[in-house]
Amino acid sequence: MPGFEMFGALERAEVQEVLDTGVLMRYGFDGMRNNIWKARELEEALAARMQTRFAHTVSSGTAALTVAMASAGIGAGHEVIIPTFTFVASFEAVLALGAIPILADIDDTLCLNPEAVEKAITDKTKAVMPVHMCGSMADLKPLKALCDKHQLLLIEDACQAIGGSYEGKPLGSYGDMGCFSFDYVKTITCGEGGGIITNNKTYYKNADHYSDHGHDHVGKDRGAESHPFLGYNYRISELNAAVGVAQIKRLDDFLNIQQKHYRILEDSIAQLEGITLRKVPETGVQNYSFLNFFLPTTEIARNAHKALLAAGVDACFYWFDNNWHYYREWEHLTQQKSLGALDEAVTQRIAESTQKGFPDSDQWMGRTISCLVKLSWSREEVDRRAALIQKVLKNELKGS
């Protein structure tokens, strides 16, 4: 990743088809568009690749999460359990619906710990949202068992792990709904965009309507469409969808490239004493977009990260100190810094659920380094990078 590294003739051809029609909006203008419907085409391809009955595209991964939850009836006062390690969009989407994000610990998968989820369930819990971070997945089987036991929704945030699988099912298709991001730095990109997949016809219809101001999309006269319920504007444009149409055709090629590069990097550190790889659940296949590993202590990990950057190993991340992806720096959430007033129940539950911190998550994230796997590297560049990573980590481990 990211897919923009591989932009070429296929992407340009798909975009040019849209420009030739002059119709950049996904709905209406039937007479002008010469039967070019890129958003529909992307949805059909996404559903086929992810082995689901339905897919719907929207303007971003954040929009996908918001629309998915709204389509399943999540709203004011409901609680949604999310991990401490995720992108800020996870809790933003929950809050946008008036619902309450409840943080729960991760484990050595770097994703939701089922035991922590069970402890976080209350009579207000409506959904569990595992976030498949950095190319690999949560252990979905026990999470689904919990959701079935407590009659909760399982909504997969697969924004960072498209192309991975669990029990032979594409990530996103295991739960009730799955969400993807097609932003500029994802494995496949639309520039900006997102997708929702599901086998539930009602959720799909709700998503279709809700993301376009509540339009029911019946008939060919947009002005005559009815509005079964309130909606908002989360539409994807035809230009963005056109890029996605090209990119999804290349997804499996991208995954193969990532896996080859990943294996070389993995082999370079596999024999280093003191380093362990992030756990991939049994039956799980990651998408190989990140090499994730644990060092013995937080101090060693922090120093090793600095040494890697100083040595020229770019795109390596120490999430423990990252203000986008780990709860320790989310003071705008924990201190409820909002332009508009938040509901008192929201602020109270956020304070209650975060006041003790998350030491179990800290002991995993404090020792974690993640290295991005790029598509555009030559074999020589991968080998050079692998040797450099090995050398730096050897020195840091020896010095500890």
pLDDT digits (tens, 9 = 90+) for 194-230: 999 999 999 999 999 999 999 999 999 999 999 999 9
Strand segments (E) across 290-357 = 290-294, 316-317
SS3 106: strand
pLDDT tier at 399, thresholds 50, 70, 90: confident
pLDDT tier at 1, thresholds 50, 70, 90: confident
| pLDDT surpassing 80 at residue 366 | yes
Structure tokens at 342: 């938040």
343 secondary structure, DSSP code: P
Strand segments (E) across 242-311 = 276-277, 284-285, 290-294
Residue 281's nearest CA partner among 107, 80, 149, 162 is 107
Which residues are known to be catalytic? 186
As a whole number, mean pLDDT of residues 330-337 equals: 94
Amino acid present at 170: P
Domains by residue range for the chain, with CATH: 3-250 (3.40.640.10), 252-399 (3.90.1150.10)
Residue 190's nearest CA partner among 240, 227, 255 is 240
Decide: 124 and 145 in contact? Cβ < 8 Å.
no
Alpha-carbon distance of 111 to 107, in angstroms, equals 6
Alpha-carbon distance of 197 to 204, in angstroms, equals 8
Quick one: 149 exposed, middle or buried, by C-beta within 10 A (0-12, 13-18, 19+)?
Answer: exposed
* pLDDT, position 157: 98
| pLDDT surpassing 80 at residue 400 | no
Which pTM value belongs to this model?
A: 0.97
- pLDDT tens-digit profile of 275-314? 999 999 999 999 999 999 999 999 999 999 999 999 999 9
